Homo-oligomer: A and B are copies of this chain.
Amino acid sequence: MRGEIIAIGDELTTGRIINTTSFFAASQLFTAGHEVIAMTTIGDEVELIGQTIRQALGRADFIIVTGGLGPTTDDLTNIAVSAALERPATFYPEISKKIAAHGANNPPEVQSALEKLAWLPAGAHALHTEAETAGYFLVQDGKPIFFLPGVPHEMKELLVETVLTRLAVWEGEEGRRVRQKVYKVVGLAEAEINNKLEHLEDPAHGVRIGYYPVLPEVHVSLTVAGNGEATIDQRFRDLDTAISEILGRAIYGCGIDSLESVVGRLLNWQGKTLAVAESCSGGLLAHKITRVSGSSAYFLGGVVAYSNDLKERLLGVPAGVLLQHGAVSSETALAMAEGIRRLTGADLGVATTGIAGPGGGSEAKPVGTVYMALATATRTDDRLLRLAGDRWQIQEHASQFALDMVRRSLLDSQ
Protein backbone atom coordinates (compact mmCIF):
# COMPACT_ATOMS: atom_id res chain seq x y z
CA MET A 1 0.00 0.00 0.00
CA ARG A 2 1.05 3.64 -0.47
CA GLY A 3 1.61 5.33 2.87
CA GLU A 4 2.50 8.74 4.16
CA ILE A 5 4.34 9.65 7.37
CA ILE A 6 3.69 12.91 9.21
CA ALA A 7 5.89 13.94 12.16
CA ILE A 8 4.69 16.78 14.37
CA GLY A 9 6.76 18.94 16.70
CA ASP A 10 8.48 22.34 16.78
CA GLU A 11 11.63 20.62 18.06
CA LEU A 12 11.80 18.82 14.69
CA THR A 13 11.17 21.76 12.35
CA THR A 14 13.81 23.88 14.05
CA GLY A 15 16.36 21.16 13.32
CA ARG A 16 17.33 20.79 16.96
CA ILE A 17 16.39 17.12 16.92
CA ILE A 18 16.89 14.93 13.88
CA ASN A 19 13.69 13.10 13.12
CA THR A 20 14.97 9.54 13.05
CA THR A 21 11.58 8.02 13.85
CA SER A 22 10.12 8.87 10.43
CA PHE A 23 13.05 7.15 8.78
CA PHE A 24 12.73 4.16 11.05
CA ALA A 25 9.04 3.97 10.09
CA ALA A 26 9.84 4.37 6.39
CA SER A 27 12.40 1.58 6.37
CA GLN A 28 10.11 -0.74 8.36
CA LEU A 29 7.19 -0.05 6.00
CA PHE A 30 9.41 -0.45 2.98
CA THR A 31 10.75 -3.80 4.11
CA ALA A 32 7.16 -4.87 4.87
CA GLY A 33 6.36 -4.28 1.20
CA HIS A 34 4.71 -0.86 1.41
CA GLU A 35 5.62 2.26 -0.50
CA VAL A 36 6.18 5.55 1.30
CA ILE A 37 5.26 8.41 -0.99
CA ALA A 38 5.91 11.32 1.37
CA MET A 39 7.28 12.16 4.77
CA THR A 40 6.34 15.50 6.26
CA THR A 41 7.66 17.22 9.36
CA ILE A 42 5.60 20.14 10.63
CA GLY A 43 5.48 22.37 13.68
CA ASP A 44 2.86 22.32 16.43
CA GLU A 45 0.26 24.34 14.52
CA VAL A 46 -3.39 23.24 14.49
CA GLU A 47 -4.29 24.44 11.02
CA LEU A 48 -1.15 23.07 9.38
CA ILE A 49 -1.62 19.68 11.05
CA GLY A 50 -5.19 19.42 9.76
CA GLN A 51 -4.23 20.60 6.28
CA THR A 52 -1.39 18.07 6.07
CA ILE A 53 -3.55 15.14 7.19
CA ARG A 54 -6.32 16.06 4.74
CA GLN A 55 -3.81 16.31 1.91
CA ALA A 56 -2.30 12.92 2.76
CA LEU A 57 -5.80 11.39 2.76
CA GLY A 58 -6.13 12.53 -0.83
CA ARG A 59 -3.14 10.55 -2.11
CA ALA A 60 -2.13 7.80 0.34
CA ASP A 61 -3.76 4.49 1.35
CA PHE A 62 -2.70 4.86 4.98
CA ILE A 63 -1.16 7.55 7.17
CA ILE A 64 1.14 7.40 10.19
CA VAL A 65 1.20 10.51 12.37
CA THR A 66 3.75 10.83 15.17
CA GLY A 67 4.04 13.35 17.99
CA GLY A 68 1.85 15.92 19.68
CA LEU A 69 -0.12 13.39 21.73
CA GLY A 70 1.23 14.32 25.17
CA PRO A 71 -0.47 16.14 28.04
CA THR A 72 1.10 19.60 27.66
CA THR A 73 -0.45 22.65 26.04
CA ASP A 74 1.75 22.48 22.95
CA ASP A 75 0.52 18.96 22.12
CA LEU A 76 -2.10 19.83 19.53
CA THR A 77 -2.50 16.78 17.32
CA ASN A 78 -5.84 15.63 18.76
CA ILE A 79 -7.35 19.11 18.57
CA ALA A 80 -6.24 19.40 14.94
CA VAL A 81 -7.64 15.97 14.05
CA SER A 82 -10.96 16.72 15.69
CA ALA A 83 -11.27 19.92 13.68
CA ALA A 84 -9.92 18.67 10.33
CA LEU A 85 -11.91 15.41 10.26
CA GLU A 86 -14.97 16.72 12.09
CA ARG A 87 -14.60 14.22 14.91
CA PRO A 88 -15.40 15.96 18.21
CA ALA A 89 -13.21 15.17 21.22
CA THR A 90 -14.77 12.25 23.04
CA PHE A 91 -14.13 10.98 26.57
CA TYR A 92 -12.78 7.40 26.80
CA PRO A 93 -13.57 6.16 30.34
CA GLU A 94 -11.35 3.07 30.02
CA ILE A 95 -8.28 5.13 29.18
CA SER A 96 -9.11 7.49 32.03
CA LYS A 97 -9.32 4.55 34.46
CA LYS A 98 -5.94 3.24 33.36
CA ILE A 99 -4.38 6.70 33.71
CA ALA A 100 -5.81 6.95 37.23
CA ALA A 101 -4.49 3.48 38.12
CA HIS A 102 -1.01 4.12 36.69
CA GLY A 103 -0.63 7.56 38.18
CA ALA A 104 -1.76 6.86 41.73
CA ASN A 105 1.41 8.47 43.06
CA ASN A 106 1.35 11.55 40.83
CA PRO A 107 0.68 15.01 42.28
CA PRO A 108 -2.89 16.21 41.50
CA GLU A 109 -1.81 18.81 38.89
CA VAL A 110 0.15 16.16 36.94
CA GLN A 111 -2.79 13.79 37.15
CA SER A 112 -5.24 16.40 35.87
CA ALA A 113 -2.90 17.17 32.94
CA LEU A 114 -2.73 13.45 32.13
CA GLU A 115 -6.53 13.29 32.19
CA LYS A 116 -6.33 15.10 28.82
CA LEU A 117 -5.05 11.84 27.30
CA ALA A 118 -8.49 10.24 27.83
CA TRP A 119 -10.03 12.65 25.28
CA LEU A 120 -9.61 11.43 21.70
CA PRO A 121 -11.27 12.29 18.38
CA ALA A 122 -14.58 10.40 17.98
CA GLY A 123 -14.12 6.96 16.46
CA ALA A 124 -10.58 6.48 17.77
CA HIS A 125 -9.41 3.05 18.95
CA ALA A 126 -6.52 2.80 21.43
CA LEU A 127 -3.61 0.88 19.90
CA HIS A 128 -2.34 -0.55 23.14
CA THR A 129 -4.19 -2.51 25.78
CA GLU A 130 -2.12 -0.71 28.40
CA ALA A 131 -2.51 3.04 28.74
CA GLU A 132 1.17 3.58 29.51
CA THR A 133 1.82 4.81 25.99
CA ALA A 134 -0.51 7.06 24.05
CA GLY A 135 -1.39 5.90 20.52
CA TYR A 136 -4.59 5.20 18.62
CA PHE A 137 -5.97 4.69 15.14
CA LEU A 138 -9.11 5.66 13.30
CA VAL A 139 -10.51 4.93 9.85
CA GLN A 140 -11.27 7.89 7.60
CA ASP A 141 -12.60 7.46 4.04
CA GLY A 142 -11.82 3.74 4.41
CA LYS A 143 -8.15 4.52 5.13
CA PRO A 144 -6.42 3.80 8.46
CA ILE A 145 -4.66 6.69 10.19
CA PHE A 146 -2.32 5.70 13.03
CA PHE A 147 -1.41 8.24 15.71
CA LEU A 148 1.77 7.36 17.60
CA PRO A 149 3.74 9.11 20.34
CA GLY A 150 6.80 11.12 19.25
CA VAL A 151 9.04 9.52 21.91
CA PRO A 152 11.27 7.30 19.75
CA HIS A 153 11.21 4.07 21.75
CA GLU A 154 7.44 4.23 22.32
CA MET A 155 6.81 5.04 18.68
CA LYS A 156 9.05 2.23 17.44
CA GLU A 157 7.50 -0.33 19.77
CA LEU A 158 3.93 0.56 18.75
CA LEU A 159 4.86 0.65 15.07
CA VAL A 160 6.42 -2.80 15.07
CA GLU A 161 3.95 -4.44 17.46
CA THR A 162 0.64 -3.00 16.32
CA VAL A 163 0.78 -0.86 13.17
CA LEU A 164 2.61 -3.33 10.92
CA THR A 165 0.38 -6.24 12.00
CA ARG A 166 -2.78 -4.20 11.42
CA LEU A 167 -1.58 -3.09 7.98
CA ALA A 168 -0.91 -6.74 7.09
CA VAL A 169 -4.52 -7.63 7.99
CA TRP A 170 -5.74 -4.63 6.02
CA GLU A 171 -4.13 -6.01 2.91
CA GLY A 172 -5.56 -9.44 3.73
CA GLU A 173 -9.08 -8.06 3.59
CA GLU A 174 -8.78 -7.68 -0.15
CA GLY A 175 -8.12 -11.43 -0.47
CA ARG A 176 -4.43 -10.77 -0.89
CA ARG A 177 -1.77 -12.59 1.12
CA VAL A 178 1.62 -11.04 1.84
CA ARG A 179 4.49 -12.82 3.59
CA GLN A 180 7.59 -10.90 4.38
CA LYS A 181 10.92 -11.40 6.11
CA VAL A 182 14.07 -9.34 6.55
CA TYR A 183 17.43 -11.13 6.76
CA LYS A 184 20.29 -9.27 8.38
CA VAL A 185 23.56 -10.10 6.69
CA VAL A 186 27.11 -9.27 7.63
CA GLY A 187 30.36 -10.13 5.88
CA LEU A 188 29.06 -10.11 2.29
CA ALA A 189 28.82 -7.09 -0.02
CA GLU A 190 25.50 -6.05 -1.50
CA ALA A 191 26.59 -7.08 -5.02
CA GLU A 192 27.75 -10.54 -3.86
CA ILE A 193 24.41 -11.18 -2.15
CA ASN A 194 22.59 -9.96 -5.24
CA ASN A 195 24.57 -12.39 -7.41
CA LYS A 196 23.75 -15.27 -5.11
CA LEU A 197 20.02 -14.56 -4.88
CA GLU A 198 18.96 -13.00 -8.17
CA HIS A 199 17.87 -16.35 -9.68
CA LEU A 200 15.19 -16.48 -6.94
CA GLU A 201 13.65 -13.11 -7.89
CA ASP A 202 10.34 -13.64 -9.69
CA PRO A 203 8.20 -10.49 -9.78
CA ALA A 204 5.72 -12.17 -12.15
CA HIS A 205 4.84 -14.54 -9.29
CA GLY A 206 4.87 -11.86 -6.62
CA VAL A 207 8.40 -12.64 -5.37
CA ARG A 208 10.47 -9.54 -4.65
CA ILE A 209 13.91 -9.46 -3.06
CA GLY A 210 15.31 -6.12 -1.89
CA TYR A 211 18.89 -5.28 -0.87
CA TYR A 212 19.50 -2.46 1.58
CA PRO A 213 23.00 -1.61 2.72
CA VAL A 214 23.08 -0.47 6.35
CA LEU A 215 26.85 -0.57 6.35
CA PRO A 216 28.66 -2.68 7.26
CA GLU A 217 25.52 -4.84 7.19
CA VAL A 218 23.20 -5.52 4.28
CA HIS A 219 19.52 -6.13 5.01
CA VAL A 220 17.76 -8.39 2.53
CA SER A 221 13.99 -8.39 2.35
CA LEU A 222 11.92 -11.20 0.87
CA THR A 223 8.33 -10.39 -0.03
CA VAL A 224 5.93 -12.98 -1.44
CA ALA A 225 2.48 -11.65 -2.35
CA GLY A 226 -0.53 -12.93 -4.24
CA ASN A 227 -3.83 -14.69 -3.89
CA GLY A 228 -4.24 -18.07 -2.20
CA GLU A 229 -3.01 -18.48 1.34
CA ALA A 230 -1.61 -22.00 0.92
CA THR A 231 0.21 -21.22 -2.34
CA ILE A 232 1.81 -18.06 -0.99
CA ASP A 233 2.79 -19.68 2.30
CA GLN A 234 4.41 -22.64 0.54
CA ARG A 235 6.28 -20.36 -1.87
CA PHE A 236 7.46 -18.26 1.06
CA ARG A 237 8.70 -21.30 3.03
CA ASP A 238 10.61 -22.66 0.04
CA LEU A 239 12.29 -19.32 -0.62
CA ASP A 240 13.07 -18.82 3.08
CA THR A 241 14.83 -22.19 3.13
CA ALA A 242 16.71 -21.41 -0.09
CA ILE A 243 17.93 -17.99 1.10
CA SER A 244 18.97 -19.38 4.49
CA GLU A 245 20.99 -22.14 2.80
CA ILE A 246 22.61 -19.87 0.23
CA LEU A 247 23.67 -17.12 2.65
CA GLY A 248 24.33 -19.45 5.61
CA ARG A 249 26.24 -17.88 8.48
CA ALA A 250 26.37 -14.52 6.75
CA ILE A 251 22.79 -14.16 8.03
CA TYR A 252 23.17 -13.17 11.66
CA GLY A 253 19.48 -12.64 12.40
CA CYS A 254 16.08 -11.40 11.29
CA GLY A 255 13.72 -8.49 11.98
CA ILE A 256 14.72 -6.55 15.08
CA ASP A 257 17.82 -8.63 15.89
CA SER A 258 21.03 -6.67 16.29
CA LEU A 259 24.54 -8.13 16.20
CA GLU A 260 24.98 -7.38 19.90
CA SER A 261 21.68 -9.01 20.87
CA VAL A 262 22.51 -12.14 18.83
CA VAL A 263 25.97 -12.32 20.39
CA GLY A 264 24.37 -11.94 23.83
CA ARG A 265 21.91 -14.76 23.12
CA LEU A 266 24.71 -17.10 21.99
CA LEU A 267 26.82 -16.29 25.06
CA ASN A 268 23.82 -16.93 27.33
CA TRP A 269 23.01 -20.25 25.66
CA GLN A 270 26.60 -21.44 25.86
CA GLY A 271 27.12 -20.08 29.39
CA LYS A 272 30.21 -18.16 28.31
CA THR A 273 31.61 -14.75 29.25
CA LEU A 274 33.14 -12.00 27.13
CA ALA A 275 35.59 -9.15 27.69
CA VAL A 276 36.89 -6.48 25.29
CA ALA A 277 40.15 -4.61 24.74
CA GLU A 278 39.56 -1.53 22.62
CA SER A 279 41.85 0.96 21.04
CA CYS A 280 40.41 2.47 17.86
CA SER A 281 36.79 1.58 18.68
CA GLY A 282 37.27 3.68 21.84
CA GLY A 283 34.50 2.21 24.01
CA LEU A 284 31.88 1.83 21.29
CA LEU A 285 32.20 -1.98 21.32
CA ALA A 286 31.61 -2.13 25.11
CA HIS A 287 28.77 0.38 24.73
CA LYS A 288 27.02 -1.75 22.10
CA ILE A 289 27.34 -4.87 24.23
CA THR A 290 26.09 -3.15 27.40
CA ARG A 291 23.11 -1.44 25.82
CA VAL A 292 21.51 -4.90 25.69
CA SER A 293 19.42 -5.52 28.82
CA GLY A 294 20.83 -8.36 30.86
CA SER A 295 24.33 -8.08 29.37
CA SER A 296 25.86 -8.13 32.87
CA ALA A 297 25.18 -11.89 32.84
CA TYR A 298 27.87 -12.49 30.20
CA PHE A 299 29.89 -9.29 29.83
CA LEU A 300 32.64 -8.95 32.42
CA GLY A 301 34.00 -5.64 31.20
CA GLY A 302 36.83 -4.23 29.19
CA VAL A 303 39.72 -1.91 28.82
CA VAL A 304 39.86 1.09 26.52
CA ALA A 305 43.60 1.32 25.99
CA TYR A 306 44.17 4.48 24.00
CA SER A 307 47.75 4.99 25.17
CA ASN A 308 50.60 2.53 24.51
CA ASP A 309 51.39 2.67 28.18
CA LEU A 310 47.97 1.18 29.04
CA LYS A 311 48.28 -1.45 26.34
CA GLU A 312 51.55 -2.49 27.93
CA ARG A 313 50.79 -2.20 31.62
CA LEU A 314 47.14 -3.27 31.73
CA LEU A 315 46.86 -5.69 28.85
CA GLY A 316 50.39 -7.00 28.98
CA VAL A 317 51.28 -6.20 25.37
CA PRO A 318 55.07 -6.67 25.35
CA ALA A 319 57.04 -3.45 24.94
CA GLY A 320 59.03 -5.19 22.19
CA VAL A 321 55.87 -5.87 20.17
CA LEU A 322 54.78 -2.24 20.40
CA LEU A 323 58.28 -1.11 19.46
CA GLN A 324 58.81 -3.54 16.61
CA HIS A 325 55.33 -3.75 15.06
CA GLY A 326 53.60 -0.63 16.38
CA ALA A 327 50.32 -0.24 18.25
CA VAL A 328 48.38 -0.79 15.02
CA SER A 329 49.49 -4.30 14.11
CA SER A 330 48.35 -7.87 14.08
CA GLU A 331 50.81 -8.72 16.86
CA THR A 332 49.46 -6.00 19.15
CA ALA A 333 45.84 -7.02 18.48
CA LEU A 334 46.66 -10.65 19.34
CA ALA A 335 48.43 -9.64 22.54
CA MET A 336 45.53 -7.33 23.52
CA ALA A 337 42.94 -10.10 23.03
CA GLU A 338 44.97 -12.58 25.03
CA GLY A 339 45.73 -9.93 27.61
CA ILE A 340 42.10 -8.98 28.28
CA ARG A 341 41.12 -12.66 28.46
CA ARG A 342 43.88 -13.35 31.00
CA LEU A 343 43.13 -10.18 32.96
CA THR A 344 39.39 -10.78 33.30
CA GLY A 345 39.16 -14.56 33.20
CA ALA A 346 36.56 -14.30 30.42
CA ASP A 347 36.00 -17.22 28.03
CA LEU A 348 36.40 -14.90 25.03
CA GLY A 349 38.56 -11.81 24.70
CA VAL A 350 38.19 -9.57 21.65
CA ALA A 351 40.44 -6.66 20.68
CA THR A 352 40.54 -3.77 18.20
CA THR A 353 43.43 -1.52 17.27
CA GLY A 354 43.56 0.77 14.28
CA ILE A 355 43.57 4.27 12.88
CA ALA A 356 40.15 5.96 13.06
CA GLY A 357 41.44 9.24 11.70
CA PRO A 358 41.24 11.91 10.53
CA GLY A 359 44.92 12.13 11.57
CA GLY A 360 47.45 9.40 12.33
CA GLY A 361 47.54 7.59 8.99
CA SER A 362 50.68 6.70 7.04
CA GLU A 363 51.36 5.23 3.62
CA ALA A 364 51.79 1.71 5.02
CA LYS A 365 48.90 2.06 7.48
CA PRO A 366 46.40 4.57 6.11
CA VAL A 367 43.36 5.83 8.04
CA GLY A 368 40.90 2.93 8.20
CA THR A 369 43.52 0.24 8.88
CA VAL A 370 42.10 -1.87 11.72
CA TYR A 371 43.44 -5.07 13.27
CA MET A 372 41.11 -7.25 15.33
CA ALA A 373 41.83 -10.38 17.34
CA LEU A 374 39.80 -12.91 19.27
CA ALA A 375 41.22 -15.14 22.00
CA THR A 376 39.46 -18.26 23.32
CA ALA A 377 40.61 -21.17 25.49
CA THR A 378 41.88 -23.03 22.43
CA ARG A 379 43.07 -20.45 19.91
CA THR A 380 43.66 -16.81 19.04
CA ASP A 381 42.78 -15.45 15.59
CA ASP A 382 43.33 -12.09 14.01
CA ARG A 383 41.87 -10.19 11.11
CA LEU A 384 42.87 -7.13 9.12
CA LEU A 385 40.23 -4.67 7.92
CA ARG A 386 40.75 -1.81 5.51
CA LEU A 387 37.78 0.43 6.22
CA ALA A 388 36.60 3.48 4.28
CA GLY A 389 34.79 6.50 5.62
CA ASP A 390 35.16 9.10 8.33
CA ARG A 391 36.07 8.64 12.00
CA TRP A 392 32.49 7.80 12.94
CA GLN A 393 32.15 5.14 10.23
CA ILE A 394 35.49 3.53 11.01
CA GLN A 395 34.64 3.24 14.72
CA GLU A 396 31.17 1.93 13.86
CA HIS A 397 32.36 -0.64 11.33
CA ALA A 398 35.26 -1.81 13.49
CA SER A 399 32.92 -2.50 16.41
CA GLN A 400 30.40 -4.31 14.18
CA PHE A 401 33.07 -6.56 12.65
CA ALA A 402 34.44 -7.32 16.13
CA LEU A 403 30.97 -8.43 17.24
CA ASP A 404 30.71 -10.57 14.12
CA MET A 405 34.07 -12.18 14.87
CA VAL A 406 32.71 -13.15 18.31
CA ARG A 407 29.47 -14.45 16.75
CA ARG A 408 31.24 -16.70 14.23
CA SER A 409 33.55 -18.07 16.88
CA LEU A 410 30.56 -18.94 19.11
CA LEU A 411 28.83 -20.66 16.16
CA ASP A 412 32.02 -22.66 15.45
CA SER A 413 32.13 -23.91 19.02
CA GLN A 414 28.51 -25.07 19.11
Contacts and interface: CB of A to CB of B under 8 A. Distances in A.
A73 interface: no
Interface stretch (A76-84, A131-139, A226-234, A296-304): A296-304
Contact of A290 (B13, B17, B19, B304): B304
A351 interface: no
A15 B40 contact: no
A22 B12 CA distance: 10
A26 interface: yes
Q: Which of A24, A41, A219 has the most CB of B within 10 A?
A: A41
A309 B345 contact: yes
Interface string A381-399: 0000000001110010000
Nearest to A211: B16
A25 B15 contact: yes
Nearest to A11: B212
Interface in A270-296: 276, 278, 282-291, 293-296
A296 B153 CA distance: 34
Contact of A16 (B214, B310, B392): B214
Given A38-B13, A293-B359, A302 B301 contact: no
Nearest to A286: B283
Interface stretch (A27-35, A85-93, A121-129): A27-35
Interface stretch (A42-50, A165-173, A316-324, A400-408): A42-50
Interface residues of A, number: 79
A304 B306 contact: no
A35 B295 CA distance: 43
Contacts of A306: 290, 295-296, 299-301
A24 B15 CA distance: 6
A30 B15 contact: yes
A357 to B, nearest CB: 8
B37 A40 contact: no
A241 interface: no
Tell me the interface secondary structure of chain A in the complex: mixed
Contact of A301 (B36, B39, B305): B305
Contact of A291 (B36, B43, B307, B391): B391
A20 interface: yes
Contact of A287 (B282, B294, B299, B357): B282
A20 B17 contact: no
Given A282-B290, A306-B290, A23 B27 contact: no
Contacts of A356: 290
A377 interface: no
Given A305-B301, A306-B299, A13 B41 contact: no
Contacts of A24: 15
Interface in A306-345: 306-307, 309-310, 313-314, 343-345
Given A18-B23, A40-B41, 4 more contacts: A15-B23, A15-B28, A153-B390, A287-B395
15 contacts: A15-B27, A15-B29, A15-B30, A153-B390, A278-B286, A282-B289, A282-B291, A282-B295, A283-B284, A283-B288, A286-B304, A287-B395, A300-B310, A301-B307, A307-B344
